[in-house]
Amino acid sequence: MRRWDDPVIVALDVSEWSRATRLLDTLQGKVETIKVGLEAYTCLGVGILDELRARGFRIFADLKLHDIPNTVQGAVRGLVRRGVDMLTVHILGGRDMLQAAVYAARDEASAAGSSPAAVLGVTVLTSLDRKSLEEMGLEMEAEELVISLARLGVGSGLDGVVSSAREAKRLREELGEEAIIVTPGIRLTGAEVQDQARVVGPAEALEAGADYLVVGRMIVDDPHPGSALKRLREAAVI
């Protein structure tokens, strides 16, 4: 997949259509890619994907698919038909599931004569810390688990991974230049971390090797989203 010029991805984490359209009106022409997560997808439905496509946004469908291979393959086909540009699966779903997702994305795109959506693997959620991992029976440090899962994901054909920018430098060293690295948990200096445990500033994330920065609440919840986006770009020097 060709890298896009704009590394900023805004997460449309809203549950009402009126709020979504106001935000999109503000962001149109200021950012290229919008992320649709579970909140927007379940509250607004698949129509939000059609709305984004009609407005000319690139679409990052961050639904973190995690199920048996056949079910994930069907879901990926549905997303590709809706014109998404990137989508996510949980690497913990295992090699067979990951390969099924990649096959579905490429096969569906081939049938439509379009470029395949990038399939990215979620490693360790940025809300999880060492204590959280231990409670799940995972004794590895977060960074080591991220690297291990990333190797499995890319080795299974994924185009890249989603991970905290804290691991971005090692991921770039381990996965090479071709792998796409998307980093959520981006915060400006002094901002509240909220429910994120492993956060990083935008410039630091890009310097570490991230291709894309996912930013949600600091823009979506700001009374002036356009101004918040401008502050982010200034902090990231982009």
CATH number of the domain within which 198 lies? 3.20.20.70
Q: What is the pLDDT of residue 129?
A: 81
Any domain includes 182? yes
Question: Is beta strand 180-183 parallel, antiparallel or unpaired with respect to 8-11?
Answer: unpaired
Show the CA angle centred on residue 93, arms to residues 196 and 45, nearest 5°.
65
Q: What is the pLDDT of residue 2?
A: 56
Q: Is 73 exposed, middle or buried (0-12, 13-18, 19+ CB in 10 A)?
A: buried
> Of 64, 131, 169, 230, which one is the catalytic site residue?
64
Any domain includes 46? yes
Any domain includes 109? yes
Q: What is the pLDDT of residue 150?
A: 97
Instruction: Characterise 83 by phi-psi region: left (phi > 0), alpha (psi -120 to 50), beta (else).
Output: left
Spell out the per-residue pLDDT of the chain, length 238, in tens.
557 889 999 999 999 999 999 999 999 999 999 999 999 999 999 999 999 999 999 999 999 999 999 999 999 999 999 999 999 999 999 999 999 999 999 999 999 999 999 999 999 887 888 888 889 888 888 889 999 999 999 999 999 999 888 899 999 999 999 999 999 978 775 445 444 444 678 999 999 999 999 999 989 999 999 999 999 999 988 7
Counts of helices then strands in the chain (DSSP H, E) = 11, 8
Any domain includes 16? yes
- For residues 153 and 160, what is the distance between their CA atoms, to the nearest angstrom? 8
Q: What is the pLDDT of residue 139?
A: 80
- For residues 185 and 167, what is the distance between their CA atoms, to the nearest angstrom? 12
Q: What is the pLDDT of residue 1?
A: 53
- The neighbouring-strand residues paired with 9 are 33, 214
Q: What is the pLDDT of residue 18?
A: 97
Residues of the domain holding 27: 8-236
Q: What is the pLDDT of residue 196?
A: 46
Any domain includes 2? no
DSSP-derived letter for residue 123 is: -
Residue pair 129/168 in contact (Cβ under 8 Å)? The answer is no
Any domain includes 3? no
Q: Give pairs for 194-197: CB < 8 Å, separation 24+.
A: 195/127, 196/126, 196/127, 197/126, 197/127, 197/128, 197/129, 197/132
Helices 95-112 and 142-155 pack at an angle, to 10 degrees, of 50
Q: What is the pLDDT of residue 199?
A: 60
Any domain includes 1? no
Tally of domains in the chain:
1
Any domain includes 137? yes
Residue 64 annotated among the catalytic residues of the structure: yes
pTM over 0.85: yes
